[in-house]
Amino acid sequence: MIAMNRNGSLLILIIIFFSLSACASPPKGLFPPEAGDPTKPVYVVNNGWHASFVVEKQDIPVEVWPESRDFPDARYLEVGWGDKDYYMAPGFNLWYAFKALFWPTASVLHIVGFSDPIEAFFPESEIIRIDLSLPGFEQLCKTVHNSYRHDEKEHPIVAGPGLYGESRFYLSNEKYHLFKTSNVWTAKALRSAGVPVRPFFSITAGGAAREARRFERLPTAVPSTAPAENRNRLSR
């Protein structure tokens, strides 16, 4: 009976998560960019297990994402997020993996600064480019900034060195769990920029990549003479 109740509760949680993912709309008026408007690219990186994203550092408004100053010489920044213990472990740890899925756990951001071409830095990964509007890109940067945990002086808290290249782990103020995996977090970051990816279908890296491919270098919106609220509806 207890097992049945637990299974029933899990099913209810899955249904609720699916419903919220399907119904909640991304911010209106951010994506796709209007024809002729300037854009900023974001690159989704799928290594088969983990989906992250890359932005050009020169595009980042430092007043929105001040922590990006920690990598002054980088051309690009890669952003990943995940369970603290599992992400920072030197190798695969089954207990960390199990714990991360079934209990809300502490999380970290993984930020990598690099200057090589993206395809050269990630030679075995799928790279998906999505062009964002300037307000959408700013919202993406704000989402990253809001994930950092800061000390009493508003400095980001470094959790340790990163996994490769010039990189660091930073404590995040978010919780990791079954319905908020690293790939779901990446999808939600894109969604905050207006890209209507579906987090429910982004639990795995492959799912996140499939969602991103739906909007890969999507043609810009056709200018409209309709009222602003209608333009927003068309540009979702």
Beta partners for residue 21, in sequence order: none
String of b and e for 80-90 (b: at least 16 CB within 10 Å)? bbbbbbbbbee
Question: Kind and range of the H or E element at 166?
Answer: strand 166-176
Residue 55 located in a structural domain: yes
In a domain, 29, yes or no: no
Question: Each residue of 59-117: pLDDT tens digit?
Answer: 999 999 999 999 999 999 999 999 999 899 876 555 555 554 667 899 999 999 999 99
Within a domain: 70: yes
**Residue 116, in any domain of the structure:** yes
Q: Quote the CA–CA distance of 109 and 81 in Å, as a whole number.
A: 4
83 belongs to a structural domain: yes
pLDDT tens sequence across 25-70 = 667 789 899 888 999 999 999 999 899 999 999 999 999 999 999 9
Smallest CA-to-CA distance from 126 within 213, 40, 219 is with: 213
pTM of the model: 0.81
User: What integer pLDDT is reported at residue 1 of this predicted model?
Assistant: 46
For 218, other C-beta atoms within 10 Å of its C-beta total 13
Domain that holds residue 166: 36-221
Is 134 domain-assigned? yes
State the Rg of the chain over Cα.
Answer: 18
Residue scoring higher pLDDT (76 or 200): 76
202 pLDDT above the threshold of 80: yes
Task: Please name the residue that has the structure tokens 């992250």.
Answer: 52
Kindly tell me if the per-residue pLDDT of 145 is higher than 50.
Answer: yes
Count of domains for the chain: 1
SS3 48: coil
